[in-house]
Amino acid sequence: MRWAKGQVLRAQRRFAEAIPEYEAVLAANPSAVRALFTLGQCKLFTGSIGETIPLLERAMRLSPHEPRVGVWSHQIGQVHLLQSRTEESITWLERARNDSPASPSSHAWLAAAYALSGDIDRATAELAEARRLSADDRFSSLARLKVIGYFGVPKIRALFEATYFAGLRLAGMPEE
């Protein structure tokens, strides 16, 4: 019941309200790896970014062969990039891309990370692949991406602007 309520709240982007639901799931079952991931996501979007990676690393230790491990790697890479740890983000985002090569998001985040590290050729190639794989054209411009995506509370949105969006600009994504 708590899991389902957390999932509904998270789907409604009511992340702060979902946190106690996932915490209750974990209190009852500390090995609930999907609750660890979703709690980490909620912590990120509510501004508790420093709590995200430890939750995801714990999930990976508990279930290293989980089918969603690529998604977990992707989120760790996102957090590293948002915290301006570009090289660490590239390591995790490459892992995520290799685990889920059809995920346009992994390619886009990797494009931003490569661009911020100065590797514009690789950044451009990854952005092109993100665009090719995207069914909703979200990577056609920053304006489109910002309309479709959710980027958390103001403190976290500022991190997205300073890193992810800045990297996508460098990779060649237009504003409009």
Q: Are residues 72 and 37 located together in one domain of the fold?
A: no
Report how far residue 115's alpha carbon sits from residue 107's, in angstroms, rounded to the nearest whole number.
12
pLDDT tens digits for 5-47?
999 999 999 999 999 999 999 999 999 999 999 999 999 999 9
Q: Are residues 99 and 16 located together in one domain of the fold?
A: no
pLDDT tens digits for 39-75?
999 999 999 999 999 999 999 999 999 888 999 999 9
Give the residue from 62, 83, 157, 144 showing the smallest Cα distance to 108: 144
Domain with 142 in it: what CATH number? 1.25.40.10
Q: Are residues 13 and 26 located together in one domain of the fold?
A: yes
Q: Are residues 55 and 73 located together in one domain of the fold?
A: no
Q: Are residues 81 and 159 located together in one domain of the fold?
A: yes
Q: Are residues 57 and 92 located together in one domain of the fold?
A: no
| Domain ranges, residue 97 | 67-176
Q: Are residues 48 and 71 located together in one domain of the fold?
A: no
Phi-psi region of 54 (alpha: psi -120 to 50; beta: other; left: phi over 0): alpha
Q: Are residues 79 and 138 located together in one domain of the fold?
A: yes
Angle 56-69-127 from CA coordinates, rounded to 5° = 100
